[in-house]
């Protein structure tokens, strides 16, 4: 990941006086780690949720069971529900990023291959934006690309 990407996001959040919340599945907390690795992160980061199982997505983020049943955990609908749920669960946050995907090496299908990742960015008072990616490489590479893309999408939304 470009070294400055998390710092650029932090600077934008500071400039806008905004707090971030994360909701992660396939990255297992890697986005939250990248945020909190930067000194001063307490001024822009409220909390991070690692919701790896469907049960955690429902219990913690209040993802409706019918979304998971109808679309699956790896879907645009689930990513959107995760981002919006994270915002609801963090009353001090203004923006959220959520990721769900298939990092591999197993779990892929013809319809949902290994490397398929959905990243959602939610904001209070705005429509949630969902991005679809098909990353290449092994599990580690898919997860790293997911984290980098999450920061890129946050920066895009914060710069708009």
**Three-state SS at 125:** coil
Domains, the chain, ranges and CATH? 5-159 (3.90.950.20)
14-46 confidence digits (pLDDT tens): 999 999 999 999 999 999 999 999 999 999 999
**Three-state SS at 53:** coil
For position 80, what pLDDT does the model report?
Answer: 98
For position 92, what pLDDT does the model report?
Answer: 94
For position 3, what pLDDT does the model report?
Answer: 60
100-109 confidence digits (pLDDT tens): 999 999 999 9
Helices (H), 30-136: 30-36, 54-61, 65-71, 76-89
Burial 23-40 (b: 16+ CB within 10 A, else e): bbbbbeebbbebbeeeee
| Residues 7 and 51 sit within 8 Å (Cβ to Cβ) | no
Beta-sheet pairing, 129-134 with 20-24: unpaired
Residue 103, φ and ψ in degrees, nearest 5: -80, -20
| Residues 75 and 109 sit within 8 Å (Cβ to Cβ) | no
β-pair partners for 131 = 119
Q: How far apart are CA 76 and CA 18, in angstroms?
A: 25
For position 147, what pLDDT does the model report?
Answer: 98
CA angle, 7 then 147 then 50, to 5°? 105
For position 73, what pLDDT does the model report?
Answer: 97
Q: What is the pLDDT along the chain (160 residues), one digit of tens a residue?
A: 556 999 999 999 999 999 999 999 999 999 999 999 999 999 999 999 999 999 999 999 999 999 999 999 999 999 999 999 999 999 999 999 999 999 999 999 999 999 999 999 999 899 999 999 999 999 999 999 999 999 999 999 999 9
Q: Could you give the count of Cα atoms lying within 13 Å of 149 in the half-sphere of its Cβ?
A: 23
Residues 6+ apart with CB under 8 A from 33: none
């Amino acid at each position: 990941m470009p070294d400055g990407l998390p710092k650029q996001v932090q600077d934008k959040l500071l400039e806008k006086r905004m707090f971030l919340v994360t909701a992660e599945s396939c990255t297992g907390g890697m986005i939250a780690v990248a945020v909190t690795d930067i000194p001063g992160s307490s001024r822009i980061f409220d909390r991070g949720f690692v919701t790896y199982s469907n049960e955690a997505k429902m219990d913690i983020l209040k993802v409706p069971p019918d979304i998971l049943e109808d679309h699956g955990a790896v879907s645009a609908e689930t990513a959107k529900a995760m981002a919006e749920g994270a915002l609801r669960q963090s009353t001090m946050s203004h923006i959220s990023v959520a990721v769900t995907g298939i990092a591999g090496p197993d779990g892929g299908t013809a319809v949902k291959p290994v490397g398929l990742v959905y990243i959602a960015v939610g904001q209070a008072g705005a429509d949630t934006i969902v991005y679809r990616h098909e990353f290449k490489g092994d599990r580690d590479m898919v997860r790293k690309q997911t984290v980098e893309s999450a920061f890129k999408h946050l920066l895009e939304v914060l710069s708009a």
